[in-house]
């Protein structure tokens, strides 16, 4: 990942914070049939994990907080790998056969974890508008994670949340209900503890979706200013059409923030479509996931 786009000088009256979000493609979802353009050897966890590790090691500046989605191999890889780079972590795992989950890592010399909470999005079924939606929500075991942190430098408090919503475009109502449940959990968590909110993840929803509109009624998107006022052209590029072009190219990943209490100070530029499709799509021999990592720098405004 290259350096930040248009970084600003941080105000002495605010707290600087960098947050990264990345769907790292759980190995339990990797099949050669899903990514036929990719060398099968590159899809093996031994090789792909090294690519992912190299991506983090190559960052010019270590983010204060890293949110991961589709995180499996947590105990056998991610926990120790991130610890070797100076990070502590918390993890929320699905309970189904596909045992991936979401994780939040942070630099302990910069932030102290005060509280955390796992969010089970199937509990959204309790408020479903009808029995059919409730049944479909219960069938999905997507999870979220919320943590409250305090700066070791100036005592500023923040709340970081991450989630990975259900994937199916045909079940937009499930994703919207999951979003509402996650937002309610964040609001409840923050109401009793306080802190500026950051909400990052793979929302499996395009910028014109009800999910995006619902979230941005409360929070702003860090990358919404990218390329002159819109979201990036894509954050996910995978699959293959008959003509060899990618089957899907679109924006599904976001870092949202509390616009009243936080300013964006810089954004990391993203991979171009030409780079992403140099071997058909993602992942490939050089990139370990079918998603792009997002990285933003913020200033948490000083309390009045």
Kindly state the tokens that stand for 93.
Answer: 């795992």
Distance between CA 156 and CA 252 in Å, rounded?
A: 30
The predicted-structure confidence for 271-304, as pLDDT tens digits, reads as follows 999 999 999 999 999 999 999 999 999 999 987 4
What pLDDT score does 226 carry?
62
Distance between CA 87 and CA 100 in Å, rounded?
A: 20
Nearest one of 6, 12, 95, 35 to 301, comparing CA atoms? 12
5 belongs to a structural domain: no
How many domains is the chain built from? 1
For residue 6, pLDDT over 60 is answered with no
CA-based R_g, the chain, Å: 18
Kindly state the tokens that stand for 235.
Answer: 């954050």
2 belongs to a structural domain: no
6 belongs to a structural domain: no
* Residue 34 zone, left/alpha/beta (φ > 0; ψ -120 to 50; rest): alpha
pLDDT band at 200 (very low <50, low <70, confident <90, very high): very high
pLDDT band at 1 (very low <50, low <70, confident <90, very high): very low
Distance between CA 273 and CA 227 in Å, rounded?
A: 14
Nearest one of 176, 191, 260 to 220, comparing CA atoms? 260
Cβ atoms < 10 Å from Cβ of 154? 11
**Domain CATH number, residue 123:** 3.60.10.10
What pLDDT score does 84 carry?
97
Nearest one of 2, 13, 30 to 282, comparing CA atoms? 30
Query: 68-77, 224-233, 241-250, 281-290: which has the minimum mean pLDDT?
Result: 224-233
What pLDDT score does 159 carry?
99
Dihedral sign, Cα of residue 258, residue 230, residue 174, residue 26: negative
Helix (H) or strand (E) holding 292: none
For residue 269, pLDDT over 70 is answered with yes
Distance between CA 272 and CA 145 in Å, rounded?
A: 30
For residue 78, pLDDT over 90 is answered with yes
pLDDT band at 9 (very low <50, low <70, confident <90, very high): very low
Report the pLDDT averaged over residues 243-247. Answer: 94
pLDDT band at 230 (very low <50, low <70, confident <90, very high): confident
Host domain of residue 128: 14-301
């Amino acid at each position: 990942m290259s350096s930040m786009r248009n970084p600003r000088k941080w105000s002495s009256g605010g707290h600087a914070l960098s947050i990264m979000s990345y769907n790292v493609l759980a190995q339990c979802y990797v099949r050669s049939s899903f990514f036929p353009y990719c060398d099968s050897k590159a899809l093996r966890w031994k090789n792909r994990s090294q690519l992912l590790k190299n991506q983090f090691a190559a960052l010019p500046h270590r983010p204060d907080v890293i949110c991961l989605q589709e995180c499996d191999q947590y105990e056998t890889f991610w926990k120790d790998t991130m610890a070797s780079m100076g990070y502590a972590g918390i993890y929320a795992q699905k309970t189904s056969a596909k045992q991936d989950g979401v994780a939040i890592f942070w630099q302990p010399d910069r932030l102290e974890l005060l509280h955390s909470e796992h969010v089970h999005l199937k509990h959204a079924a309790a408020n479903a508008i009808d029995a059919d939606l409730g049944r479909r929500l219960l069938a999905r075991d997507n999870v979220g994670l919320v943590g409250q942190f305090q700066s070791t430098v100036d005592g500023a408090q923040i709340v970081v949340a991450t989630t990975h919503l259900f994937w199916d475009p045909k079940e937009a109502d499930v994703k919207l209900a999951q979003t509402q449940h996650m937002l309610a959990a964040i609001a409840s968590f923050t109401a009793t503890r306080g802190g500026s909110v950051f909400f990052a993840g793979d929302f499996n929803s395009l910028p014109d979706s009800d999910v995006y509109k619902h979230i941005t009624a409360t929070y702003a998107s860090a990358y919404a200013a990218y390329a002159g006022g819109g979201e990036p052209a894509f954050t996910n590029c995978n699959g293959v059409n008959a003509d060899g072009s990618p089957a899907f190219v679109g924006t599904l990943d976001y870092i949202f923030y509390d616009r009243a209490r936080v300013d964006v100070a810089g954004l990391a530029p993203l991979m171009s479509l030409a780079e992403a499709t140099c071997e058909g799509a993602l992942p490939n021999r050089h990139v370990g996931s079918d998603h792009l990592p997002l990285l933003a720098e913020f200033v948490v405004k000083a309390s009045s």
